Structure 1
Amino acid sequence: MNFKELLTEDRAVSPVIGVILMVAITVILAAVIGTFVLGLGDQVSESAPQASFSFDFDMNDSEVTITHEGGETLESSNIAVEGSNGTPNGATFSGDTISAGNSSTFSGVNPGETIRVIWTNPAGGSTNTIARATAPQ
């Protein structure tokens, strides 16, 4: 037996690599098609918006003023304000959209209560807290 011929023989390499590539392509295509068939493809692109809010607490009047400081413009129908002790009075922003500089005042805030700005995904109903602050004691 000639070992030089055995080590230089590479006829079987090409079919093995071809089979591995075909299997890899099939798995990737199945994953992509399965993702969109199950409807997961739409949810991948719907992530929470990037927005910055400031909270100005006036504990003498039990109020908080929430101001959109910057970031994406938001649809007010997708935004809610909630407290750890319930929903503050007037817990919606006015107008159709919330853009930088818009603010709203909410009453019924208790000392030590955590106030959250919550975004609801219009495509699927999932929610994300995009800002939060705790009222001073």
Structure 2
Amino acid sequence: MPHSHAVVWLDFKEAHIFRFDPDDVHHERIRAHNPYRKVHHKAGAIGAGHAHSDQDFFKEIAQVLDGATEWLLVGPGYAKNDFLHHVEAHEPALKDSLVAVEPMDHPTDGELIESARCFFKAADRMLPNSPPAPGQPLR
């Protein structure tokens, strides 16, 4: 049985991708190609500037997600938002299967997979054709 659900935790240095089903978990870790990116400033501009996204890093993450029926994107800071923009621009099939984008600091691998399983269990119960949870009345 293919791993139908996935969760991606990423920052600008690395991504942890877990593909899972009820019985199995597959974990991939991808390191950014340029984790110590330089921030480019416009001459005379005040502020932090803008760091350019690592598109090759994002493409590798998208390849690992290929075939996931549903996935969750989590992480600290702005890396997840930059990856989301990449997905919207270059990976329309992944955009359609994205369920949510959530902030998440730096969990352990166990905490991340447990959080994702709980998220998808709750999300699946909210689907219109899903059966009620055990012990719940039929409606």
Indicate whether the TM-score tops 0.5.
Answer: no
TM-score w.r.t. length of structure 1: 0.28
Q: Quick check: which one's strand share is greater?
A: 1
Decide which structure has greater helix share.
Answer: 2
Please give the TM-score of this superposition, normalised by the length of structure 2: 0.27
